[in-house]
Amino acid sequence: MITIYHNSRCSKSREGVCFLENTKEDFQVVNYLENIPTKDELKELLRKLNISPIDLVRKKESIWISDYKNKNLSDDEIIQAMIDNPKLIERPIIVNGDKAVIARPTERINEIL
């Protein structure tokens, strides 16, 4: 089953849902602002994305700039920052089995279908 980690306020995230609806594939939507991923879930997402924690952070978010930017953070501290402030998590994330992409641009979803 395909999963999209979704923020309904984000236009790119909404585009990702629309894209998946048009594929006619079964998928589930995870509103990660309400259902915050655990540390283990984030680590698994990072593994599937094949990126480091800092690459999943939305670095232009005000909370990142005010509280974390220019600090020498470990990977675990970055993951904890995303758990404490889930809007820092880049979106949308699409997962299909053991693969995942950050769907920016939306067409990147094709890479894992």
User: Which residues are catalytic, by number?
Assistant: 10
Beta bridge partners of 2: 27, 96
Q: CB–CB of 106/12 below 8 Å? A: yes
Nearest to 106 by CA among 31, 12, 24: 12
- β-strand 27-31 against 93-96: which pairing, if any? unpaired
CA terminus-to-terminus distance, the chain: 11
